[in-house]
Chain A
Amino acid sequence: MDQYTLNLLVVGASFALYIGIAIWARAGSTAEFYAAGQGVPPVMNGMATAADWMSAASFISMAGIIALAPAGGYTQSSFLMGWTGGYVLLALLLAPYLRKFGKFTVPEFVGDRFYSKGARLVAVICLIVISVTYVIGQMRGVGVTFARFLEVSTDTGLYIGAAIVFAYAVFGGMKGITYTQVAQYCVLIIAYTIPAIFISLQMTGNFLPQLGLFGTYAPSGGDVAFLTKLDQVVVELGFTQYTSHTTSTLNMVFFTMSLMIGTAGLPHVIIRFFTVPKVADARWSAGWALVFIALLYTVAPAVGSMARMNLSTTFWPNAVAGEALAGDPISLEAINTDPNLSWINTWKNTGLLAFEDKNGDGFIQYYNDKSPAMEAIAAERGWTGNELTKVDNDMMVLANPEIAKLPGWVIALVAAGGLAAALSTAAGLLLAISSAVSHDLIKGSINPNISEKGELLAARISMGFAIVLATWLGLNPPGFAAQVVALAFGLAAATIFPVLMMGIFSKRINKEGAIAGMLVGLFSTAIYIFLYLGWFFIPGTNTLENVPANWLFGISPASFGTVGAILNFGTAYIVSGMTKEPPREIQDLVESIRVPKGAGAATGH
């Protein structure tokens, strides 16, 4: 059976599974649509949260981002610590209390706690901006994965993906999404770890990638540590040492913090904790979510570094046993004839990898042509620049099974895994958007007397609209998809997280303080990002060039969420201090959410 048929079979089977689950888990009430009827066991909710959280970026891109970072793999540790450390904040500071509060949406908590429709509206706006920007990347991810493995155009792939999400999200609501996400988690984690285990075995002799990363390098006989060997090889080729700290410490701290509090402030993650039966379950559930996330996140740095090593030794065969430059680089002839190297041409055809024999010597020299140290060597050997002209971050995970010569069904599984990661996150985001529209806008403001049935219908219609909007944005993405995600995290960090935390931990913060804080966080972060990345992401409209020398105190736009959060906290305290304290019943409400007893079922009122 050829690879295409195999991909089609495995992906088709996984889709049939999702649709089957959707039919089984149809939502019959708003409680089921918004919060899966609060009946999801903590372990299952943990799995669903993990799938909800781990997007196309985690599954496809993250290992490559770490592996190929120009400043070295260590500097990208921010992603690993940031995207997991946020769960500690969720478990300790938000999830249990929001579950006790027992409503369906994040803006609803903000509106009730700060006794203000205005506060609720500001929260709805923040939520929609965050979720819509985030969902664009997911829809792109679905389209790209389809295009690569099923040989359809990216746009066709996007339509198919949107139709699948429509089928289970509109009918199943949170209930359908939750159980589909459990299945999607299983698919994606198997797809991620199987190739990783084989590569770790080949590279380090250790089947656990987490240990292999700190093990020894097996192909040369196992007498040198893997990371030492990797540092040696990349430095020899003129690249920055893999394990060293080469960027601003302050910026790394702020970036990590932004990702942590941004994670804790993402509405589609927070609402997952409304689905468990009890407050104690919300705490356990956060732990289980991190268990399932950590399974991928502790493997990712190993996958990345091993793929980087594989790439380097493929292009410099002598690097395996000795010094890379002591032998010839890979020859064009070998690329075209050696069956073990056929993946190079396969991936060249996808456009994710490109090479060019610039000096016409029949060899492909892969090195850092921007490194001054390499100039002398290049001049001496007649090199005219790096000839491996493109290695896309995304290739590192997607090509892994082929590089490691794993069977075809593993490749098909990776395709299904990439789709599962993108679809599960897209569904979670779409639910967050549709519940904000139907519950917070329609029921909360426009038509409070809407019937249960009417609200359920409104929820389904707004979900349908959200999918159409997301599909359209996926077809016509704004300027830079990656920067847009920076905005989503920055805004979640600067608006949602602080307002929720203050709502729980302070009885003194009042509606004036909360609204002022959210607005200051929203505008300071958005403006700082727009200054460097272009106003509303229109390329070429940026006021300042996006280079470290221009950044305020060396803080990059992606790291500014931390500053926005600090400004939000500060503003809220000052404004609240100058205005009237919240009414008695609000202070009682805060008292009651701090104590688990009496959570009961969530209500829509």
Chain B
Amino acid sequence: MADNSKDNNAYWAANVRIILISLAIWALVSFGFGIILRPMLMGIEVGGSDLGFWFAQQGSILVFLALIFFYAWRMNKLDAEHGVEE
């Protein structure tokens, strides 16, 4: 039982780490590239506008998708590694 909860703690710590990395990317593409950092990306042209505009109207949504599927895949692996999968 003690071992079990120790391993569960390791599993949870790994999960939180993956979540933090994913959320950093989530914030970077939307609030970062899409809004706050847009003036810095003005120089990079994308079809009649700039990279910031693309991220705000298309790119961030695509990155969100990639993030969720990455998380689901990574967590399934983590579940198996720690033997907590269903």
When the two chains form their complex, are residues B61 and A93 in contact, meaning their CB atoms are under 8 A apart? no
Task: Give per-residue flags for A244-275: 1 if the beta carbon is below 8 A from chain B beta carbons, else 0.
Answer: 01000100110011000000000000000000
Task: Give per-residue flags for A94-113: 1 if the beta carbon is below 8 A from chain B beta carbons, else 0.
Answer: 00100000000000000000
Chain A residues with CB under 8 A of B68: 87-88, 91-92, 283, 286-287, 290
| A88 to B27 alpha-carbon distance, docked (Å) | 10
Kindly identify, within residues 557 to 605 of chain A, every residue whose CB is under 8 Å from any CB belonging to chain B: 591, 594-599
Task: Give per-residue flags for B48-86: 1 if the beta carbon is below 8 A from chain A beta carbons, else 0.
Answer: 111001101110111011011101100110010001111
Task: Give per-residue flags for A339-355: 1 if the beta carbon is below 8 A from chain B beta carbons, else 0.
Answer: 00000000000000000
Kindly report which residue of chain B lies nearest to residue A283, judged by CB atoms: B72
The answer to whether the Cβ of A441 comes within 8 Å of any Cβ in the partner chain is no
CB of B64, distance to nearest CB on chain A (Å): 5
When the two chains form their complex, are residues B71 and A92 in contact, meaning their CB atoms are under 8 A apart? yes
Given contact pairs A77-B56, A283-B71, A597 touches B35 in the complex (Cβ within 8 A): no
CB of B80, distance to nearest CB on chain A (Å): 10
The answer to whether the Cβ of A127 comes within 8 Å of any Cβ in the partner chain is no
Chain A residues with CB under 8 A of B16: 505
When the two chains form their complex, are residues B79 and A596 in contact, meaning their CB atoms are under 8 A apart? yes
When the two chains form their complex, are residues B84 and A280 in contact, meaning their CB atoms are under 8 A apart? no
CB of B36, distance to nearest CB on chain A (Å): 6
When the two chains form their complex, are residues B30 and A85 in contact, meaning their CB atoms are under 8 A apart? yes
Chain A residues with CB under 8 A of B57: 74, 77, 80, 213, 301
The answer to whether the Cβ of A84 comes within 8 Å of any Cβ in the partner chain is yes
Chain A residues with CB under 8 A of B38: 245
Interface of A is mostly: helix
| A230 to B53 alpha-carbon distance, docked (Å) | 14
| A594 to B58 alpha-carbon distance, docked (Å) | 33
Given contact pairs A225-B48, A280-B85, A283-B75, A243 touches B53 in the complex (Cβ within 8 A): yes
Chain B residues with CB under 8 A of A599: 86
| A294 to B64 alpha-carbon distance, docked (Å) | 10
The answer to whether the Cβ of A278 comes within 8 Å of any Cβ in the partner chain is yes
Chain A residues with CB under 8 A of B8: 591, 594-595
Kindly report which residue of chain A lies nearest to residue B78, judged by CB atoms: A596
Chain A residues with CB under 8 A of B12: 594-595
| A154 to B65 alpha-carbon distance, docked (Å) | 38
Chain A residues with CB under 8 A of B30: 81, 85, 256
| A93 to B72 alpha-carbon distance, docked (Å) | 12
Interface size in chain A (residues, C-beta < 8 A): 53
| A599 to B31 alpha-carbon distance, docked (Å) | 35
Chain A residues with CB under 8 A of B75: 96, 280, 283
The answer to whether the Cβ of B19 comes within 8 Å of any Cβ in the partner chain is yes
Cβ-neighbour of A225 out of B23, B47, B58 (below 8 A)? B47
Chain B residues with CB under 8 A of A228: 48-49
Given contact pairs A245-B38, A284-B72, A596 touches B67 in the complex (Cβ within 8 A): no
Chain A residues with CB under 8 A of B64: 84-85, 87-88, 290, 294
Cβ-neighbour of A227 out of B15, B19, B47 (below 8 A)? B47
When the two chains form their complex, are residues A278 and B48 in contact, meaning their CB atoms are under 8 A apart? no
Kindly report which residue of chain A lies nearest to residue B60, judged by CB atoms: A81
Given contact pairs A249-B36, A591-B8, A280 touches B72 in the complex (Cβ within 8 A): yes
When the two chains form their complex, are residues B86 and A280 in contact, meaning their CB atoms are under 8 A apart? yes
Kindly identify, within residues 1 to 49 of chain B, every residue whose CB is under 8 Å from any CB belonging to chain A: 5, 8, 11-12, 15-16, 19, 22-23, 26, 30-31, 34-36, 38-39, 46-49
| A279 to B58 alpha-carbon distance, docked (Å) | 29
Kindly report which residue of chain B lies nearest to residue A305, judged by CB atoms: B57
When the two chains form their complex, are residues B35 and A253 in contact, meaning their CB atoms are under 8 A apart? yes
The answer to whether the Cβ of A239 comes within 8 Å of any Cβ in the partner chain is no
Given contact pairs A93-B19, A225-B48, A227-B47, A85 touches B72 in the complex (Cβ within 8 A): no
Kindly identify, within residues 292 to 321 of chain A, every residue whose CB is under 8 Å from any CB belonging to chain B: 294, 297-298, 301
Interface residues of B (CB under 8 A from A): 5, 8, 11-12, 15-16, 19, 22-23, 26, 30-31, 34-36, 38-39, 46-50, 53-54, 56-58, 60-62, 64-65, 67-69, 71-72, 75-76, 79, 83-86
Known pairs A74-B53, A287-B72, A597-B85 / 20 extra A-B pairs, C-beta < 8 Å: A77-B35, A80-B57, A80-B61, A81-B56, A85-B60, A87-B68, A88-B23, A91-B68, A227-B53, A228-B48, A245-B38, A253-B31, A253-B35, A280-B75, A280-B86, A287-B68, A290-B65, A591-B8, A594-B8, A596-B79
Interface residues of A (CB under 8 A from B): 74, 77, 80-81, 84-85, 87-88, 91-93, 96, 210, 213-216, 224-231, 243, 245, 249, 252-253, 256-257, 278-280, 283-284, 286-287, 290-291, 294, 297-298, 301, 505, 591, 594-599
> What are 17 A-B residue pairs whose CB atoms fall within 8 Å in the complex?
A74-B53, A74-B56, A80-B57, A84-B64, A88-B64, A96-B75, A215-B47, A225-B47, A230-B48, A243-B49, A257-B31, A286-B68, A287-B65, A287-B68, A290-B61, A505-B16, A598-B86
User: Which 4 A-B residue pairings sit nearest by Cβ, starting from the closest?
Assistant: A225-B48, A214-B47, A227-B48, A77-B56
